């Protein structure tokens, strides 16, 4: 059926499985807000909001960048420029995904519902930022970084300033690995007046900026553990994350970007899951003690 084929093509285009990047951080925030395991229904609506918002953002990005992708040899075979998917269907997909996000937000509480248009504006409008700022990487980071704060509000109905440490950590983490990923397109970006840290600073300095952002991330995660009074398990998780980040950066150098996809796709999913597992274990262990 054409509809099912289009849906499959769209899911492949947006790489929906990469929702795992920010989802574990949102679930960590939900558990911090609940002091343990939140209600299953709340978790379900949070997952729906996360997946639908990211799906809408990725599909919107492919629409906004269709002409750019068509001109770039690395991205010319993406579904829209290759003609495998129409922009009309992609727009319909974005509308449905946004609707599901608002539905999920409404089921959580009034505050999440009222804030849902603002959240959608952040994740959708990121797509245009590389046209006017080299710091679009941090805008993308913030688009994912609001997930922990949103998950906290979903559980508590109010914002605790401490959870903004996790928002900042995710912002710098995503910004750092997006800088790594952008190193692939440095020549294309320069030729087409697109902004990025690699385009503005060159690959060697861009790698230094990415490392600095990831060091900031680690510092913020330590501050988060201290702010919430978490224990040795959570600290051990941060240590593992640090080792994984070090390995990720070891895969990439100014002279060799051939392993960049492995660094971007595989390691970052592992990092997010590892952090969640250790924080969840720490919280569950504490909540089970008398």
Model's pTM, two decimal places? 0.93
DSSP code at position 264: I
The pLDDT confidence band at residue 17, using thresholds 50, 70 and 90, is low
Q: What is the pLDDT of residues 212-227, one digit of tens each?
A: 999 999 999 999 999 9
The residue ranges of every structural domain in the chain are: 2-288
Cα-Cα-Cα-Cα dihedral sign, residues 101, 97, 172, 24: positive
Q: Quick check: 56 and 94 in contact, CB under 8 A? A: yes
| CA 67/CA 266 separation, integer angstroms | 28
| CA 84/CA 132 separation, integer angstroms | 30
pLDDT at 62 over 70: yes
- At the topology level, CATH places domain 2-288 in Tetracycline Repressor; domain 2 (1.10.357)
Percent of the chain with pLDDT over 90: 71
């Amino acid at each position: 059926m054409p509809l099912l084929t289009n849906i499959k093509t769209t899911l492949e285009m947006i790489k929906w499985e990469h929702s795992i990047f920010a989802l574990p951080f949102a679930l960590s925030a939900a558990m911090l807000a609940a002091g343990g395991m939140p209600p299953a229904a709340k978790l379900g609506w949070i997952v729906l909001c996360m997946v639908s918002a990211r799906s809408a953002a990725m599909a919107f990005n492919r629409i906004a960048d269709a002409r750019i992708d068509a001109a770039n040899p690395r991205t010319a075979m993406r579904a829209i420029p290759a003609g495998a998917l129409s922009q009309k269907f992609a727009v319909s997909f974005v509308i449905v995904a946004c609707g599901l996000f608002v539905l999920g937000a409404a089921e959580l509480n009034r505050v999440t519902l009222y804030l849902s248009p603002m959240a959608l504006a952040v994740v959708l409008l990121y797509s245009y930022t590389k046209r006017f700022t080299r710091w679009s990487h941090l805008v993308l980071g913030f688009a994912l970084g609001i997930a922990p704060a949103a998950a906290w509000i979903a559980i508590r109905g109010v914002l605790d300033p401490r959870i903004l440490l996790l928002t900042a950590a995710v912002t710098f983490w995503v910004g750092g690995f997006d800088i790594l990923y952008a190193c692939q397109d440095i020549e294309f970006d320069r030729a087409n007046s697109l902004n990025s840290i690699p385009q503005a600073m060159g690959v060697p300095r861009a790698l230094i900026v990415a490392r600095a952002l990831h060091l900031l991330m680690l510092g913020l995660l330590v501050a988060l553990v201290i702010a919430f009074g978490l224990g040795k398990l959570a600290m051990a998780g941060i240590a593992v994350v640090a080792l994984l980040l070090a390995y990720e950066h070891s895969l990439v150098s100014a002279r060799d970007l051939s392993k960049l996809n492995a660094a971007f796709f595989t390691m970052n999913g592992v990092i997010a899951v590892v952090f969640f597992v250790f924080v969840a274990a720490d919280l569950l262990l504490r909540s089970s003690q008398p």
